[in-house]
A and B are shown apart, each in its own frame.
Chain A
Amino acid sequence: MHIDLSSIGTVAGVGFVAAVGVVLVYTLGLRLLGTGQPVDTGGERTEYRDETPRSGHTPPVALAGALLCFAVCAVAVLYGIWLTIPQFH
């Protein structure tokens, strides 16, 4: 019986790096976007309508960083779609 341990390992390794990487970068983007703003006291259950209005000052550097983070995530998603569609490769 042939058990392909190396491809199981690759799935685990690449999957880990890709998923944790995207979540890390996206979360970092959210964190930068929220820099200098009041906190949402409701935490994870905060609905959009319950958010305190943006009143603080977010440094331009943080905004640029957030933009970069979201751009990286967008590229990751496009790459995922590219991988899904066999006609592309």
Chain B
Amino acid sequence: MDVLVTVVLVIVVALVFDFTNGFHDTANAMATSVATGALQPRTAVLISAVLNVVGAFLSTEVAKTVSQGIIREGQDGIQITPTMIFAGLVGAVLWNLATWYSGLPSSSTHALFGGLIGASIIGAGMQSVDWATVVSKVVLPALLSPVIAGVIALVATYLAYTLTRNATTHGAATGFRHGQTISASLVSLAHGTNDAQKTMGVITLTLIAAGYQSSGTGPALWVVLACGLAIGLGTYTGGWRIMRTVGKKISDVQSPQGFAAETSSAATILVSSHLGFALSTTHVTSGSVVGSGLGKKLADVHWRVVGRIVVAWVITLPAAAVVGGLATLLASTSTIGLVVVAVLALVGGSAFFVLARRKPVTKDTVNDEEPAAQPVSA
């Protein structure tokens, strides 16, 4: 009975995480297309949602790597329990909602890993985490990928402007918008083949850990279906808050920059996934946007916004880890503790939604550089 309750809770929270991942990361692929007017906001999120679902079905390779490596498992390692996975997911979801509320494009992957790491430290001790893997597979790529994507986007943007004489060549602006539609779609597809997989991996791991599925098997069809739909629905709901940050606040992106930035993101993500080198889509796309601002002219980048984003990146993993750890502490006491964590997570998550409704960012205001002036109230 206890196991069943835990497994059901894990699946529910995992799907909620997938949903937040979807609306958090829409910004990555589509922000610059929406900012330049290449795609209408609704069209952009629809394309992105469909490609995310398609991507989820295409590949289940990444799903398997999630559980392997970072948390030591198996005979000489620690058996990660469904309760720890549940607590880790709670940490990831709450951190994703917090950064979404602040409009910060932080990595959903880091939130997930952070939550799971925190849960394992509390649940099974420091030695349960493979720190060398954390540094080489998570920290280092996070430092390097925005720089790599940024430099590529800088050169590409410079070329795009120079060759079209500052985009005055007849039809150039329109041409770049058409190009953007294609490159943004590629980023969306790559995102789908990566991020939906992470949740599938977590759910499958839980089912195996609880004995409902034999080990060594891939995700079941209903898991693939549920994850694909959750991330697609999240994407379609649209993360307008983060989209405004990426498309307008970092740098006021124009079509040559948008095309250069998205092409750089798509190329970097595709090459690295092909080599089995895990990069965060979020880090790559944010780096590209900064690079495309620099490629046009230095003053175009709002460094204060970039600074806030970088701070959010740095604290994502530890913050999610702390929430995941605390949740483990409470959830591992008893089934009652588990339910208490679930209720607290629900209350916390709802709080962010309520707060967000007071200062909403919608498809109609996604391209406003500054929030509309609030009417002065008594």
A residues at B contact (CB < 8 Å): 1-4, 7-8, 10-12, 14-16, 18-20, 22-24, 26-31, 33-34, 37-48, 51-52, 54, 73, 77, 80-81, 83-87
| Nearest CB of chain B from residue A50's CB, rounded to whole Å | 9
The residue of chain A having its C-beta at the shortest distance from the C-beta of B171 within the complex is A34
**Chain B neighbourhood of A40, CB < 8 A:** 167-173
Q: Which B residues are CB-close (under 8 A) to A11?
A: 148, 268, 271-272, 275, 277, 279
Which listed residue, B132, B148, B163, B274, touches A31 by the CB 8 Å rule? Answer: B163
Q: How many Cβ-Cβ contacts under 8 Å join chain A to chain B?
A: 176
7 of the cross-chain contacts (CB-CB < 8 Å) are: A7-B275, A18-B267, A19-B266, A26-B175, A30-B163, A33-B171, A45-B254
- The answer on a CB contact under 8 Å between B152 and A1 is no
- Are A15 and B172 in contact, CB atoms less than 8 angstroms apart? no
Interface size on B, residues (CB 8 A): 59
- Greatest chain A CB density within 10 A among B182, B193, B256, B271 is at B271
Proximity string of chain B (115-154) to chain A, C-beta cutoff 8 Å, 1 when within and 0 when not: 0000000000000000010011000110010001101110
Contact of A24 among B159, B167, B190 (CB under 8 A): B159
8 Å CB contact of A4 from B149, B171, B175, B277? B277
Complex interface: stretch among B13-21, B257-265, B362-370: B257-265
Contacts of B259 in A (CB 8 A): 23, 26
Does B334 touch A at the CB level, under 8 Å? no
Contact yes or no, A86 B58, CB < 8 A? yes
Contact status A15-B271, CB under 8 Å? yes
Residues on B close to A: CB < 8 A?
A: 37, 55, 58-59, 61, 132, 135-136, 140-141, 144, 148-149, 151-153, 155-156, 159-160, 163-176, 179, 182, 186, 189-190, 193, 254-256, 259-260, 263-264, 266-268, 270-277, 279
Contact status A30-B175, CB under 8 Å:
yes
Q: Which residues of A contact B171 (CB under 8 A)?
A: 30, 33-34, 37, 40, 51, 54
Contacts of B182 in A (CB 8 A): 77
Contact A19 B264, beta carbon cutoff 8 Å: yes
Task: Check if B173 sits within 8 Å of A84, measured CB to CB.
Answer: no
* Known contacts A4-B277, A43-B173, A54-B170; A27/B59 CB under 8 A: no
B275 to chain A, nearest CB (A): 5
Cβ contact within 8 Å between A39 and B136 = no
Please tell me if the beta carbons of B172 and A20 are within 8 angstroms of each other in the complex: no
Which residues of A are found within 8 Å of B55, using beta-carbon distances? 84
CA A41 to CA B168, docked complex, whole Å: 6
List, in ascending order, chain B residues with CB within 8 A of A24's CB: 156, 159, 163
Return A65 CB to nearest CB of chain B, in Å.
Answer: 13
Known A-B contacts A40-B172, A80-B266, A81-B186; the reply to A4 vs B166 at CB < 8 A is no
Given contacts A15-B152, A15-B271, A54-B170, 19 further A-B contacts (CB under 8 A): A4-B277, A7-B275, A8-B277, A11-B268, A15-B267, A19-B260, A23-B159, A23-B263, A24-B163, A26-B259, A30-B163, A30-B176, A31-B172, A34-B169, A40-B170, A47-B174, A84-B58, A84-B273, A85-B59
Given contacts A3-B136, A11-B268, A45-B173, contact A27 B160 (CB under 8 A): yes
| Residue contact B169 to A30, C-beta cutoff 8 Å | yes
The minimal Cβ–Cβ distance linking A4 to chain B, given in whole angstroms, is: 7
Task: Kindly identify which residue among A22, A31, A47 contacts B164, using a CB–CB cutoff of 8 Å.
Answer: A31
Given contacts A10-B275, A31-B163, contact A44 B173 (CB under 8 A): yes
A85 to B270, CA, bound (A): 10
For the complex formed, measure the closest distance between the CB of B276 and the CB atoms of chain A, giving whole angstroms.
Answer: 8
Taking the closest CB of chain B, its distance from the CB of A57, in whole angstroms, is: 12
From B136, which residue of chain A is reached at the shortest CB distance?
A: A3
Q: List B contacts of A38 (CB < 8 A).
A: 170
